[in-house]
Amino acid sequence: MAYDPNNIFARILRGEIPNQTVYEDEHVLAFHDINPQAKVHVLVIPKGAYVSFADFSQNASPEEITAFVRASGRIAQDLGVEADGYRILSNHGVDAAQEVPHFHLHLFGGQRLGRMIKPLDS
Ligand code: 5GP
């Protein structure tokens, strides 16, 4: 899948759409989700143009990958959710209902999060 430079997170990165930033460095931006699914729900995105986790894991440079992983852990610490726990999740593709075609991690916390996913339909 080709990267769409007009996806909503690309527009946020260009400053065309406002966001509530919680962290930014050379490679990474993190901001509050517009429709939070938990008391803490932050999106962590690379600044590079990667469609999804599959694209990022295969094509990002070691520097970008290291920066992204380190920043994600640091953001959880800074948000104060490390002690009680948090969940990170990334949706890739149709089965996962990925909406925005720019790779992102969801970081959830601030409350008990329950089971990881709904049980399989029988
Ligand atoms: P996905 O389903 O692609 O993994 O998740 C996309 C996420 O982006 C959703 O949780 C949605 O609420 C969030 N989102 C979509 N548009 C915007 C926006 O303009 N600003 C922010 N902050 N979050 C957005």
Distance between CA atoms of residues 4 and 10, nearest Å: 8
Q: Is the CB of 99 under 6 A from ligand 1?
A: yes
CA of 35 relative to ligand 1 center, distance in Å:
7
The percentage of residues in the chain with a pLDDT greater than 70, rounded to a whole number, is: 98
CA of 3 relative to ligand 1 center, distance in Å:
17
Q: Is the Cβ–Cβ distance between 42 and 32 less than 8 Å? A: yes
Whether 3 maps to a domain, the answer reads no
CATH value at residue 82: 3.30.428.10
Whether 91 maps to a domain, the answer reads yes
If one residue of 20, 29, 35, 56 were mutated to test the ligand 1 pocket, choosing by the most ligand atoms within 8 A of its CB, it would be 35
Residues in a beta bridge with 40? 109
Distance between CA atoms of residues 65 and 52, nearest Å: 13
Whether 53 maps to a domain, the answer reads yes
Q: By three-state DSSP, how is residue 45 classified?
A: strand
Whether 36 maps to a domain, the answer reads yes
- How many domains, the chain? 1
**Is pLDDT at 25 greater than 60 in this prediction?**
yes
Whether 119 maps to a domain, the answer reads no
What range defines the domain where residue 32 resides? 8-109
In degrees and rounded to multiples of 5, residue 15 shows phi and psi of: 80, 15
Whether 20 maps to a domain, the answer reads yes
Whether 120 maps to a domain, the answer reads no
- State the pLDDT at residue 26: 98
Q: Is the CB of 33 under 6 A from ligand 1?
A: yes
pTM for this structure? 0.96
Whether 29 maps to a domain, the answer reads yes
- The radius of gyration of the chain's CA atoms, rounded to the nearest angstrom, is 14
More confident residue, 115 or 50: 50
- State the pLDDT at residue 122: 55
Task: State how beta strands 28-32 and 21-24 pair.
Answer: antiparallel
